Amino acid sequence: EAALHLQAGVDPVIDVDKKGRVKDRTWKGSQKMMNDPTRFLMNLKTFKNHIDDGNVPAQNVEEARRLLDSMGADFNPDMMKKKSQAAGGLSEWVINIIKYYDVLVQVEPKKKSLRDATETLEAANRRHEQVTAL
């Protein structure tokens, strides 16, 4: 279900309401998302790009995070793998995608500040060159 929340509004197969939240949170909704295994795996592999491009709403990550938190120690990839290798792998993906999103959210403003500072420095250097050329 956490993967369903993460991909809401990104994967067109997942039905969402007007607020962009998953309509069908049942096993049937998850099955619909995974119905075409090739497409589903490609979506998982390229999901990072959607995060990088800013196409994943914060509410998706927060919904998935709430679900993980509510499960506590039960959301454990090693335990999941004992029941199903696929479920174990998917749970690792969910955990890592949330971590990636969290890091990106922290780093992106710093990257913008660096770009702004670089532009300011370049402008100051150009002015300095003009003044010293006189």
Tens digits of per-residue pLDDT, 40-82?
999 999 999 999 999 999 999 999 999 989 988 878 888 888 8
pLDDT of residue 76: 84
Residue 101, Cβ density class (10 Å: 0-12 exposed, 13-18 middle, ≥19 buried) = buried
> What are the residue ranges spanned by the domains of the chain?
2-104
pLDDT of residue 75: 81
pLDDT of residue 117: 93
Above 90 in pLDDT, residue 111? no
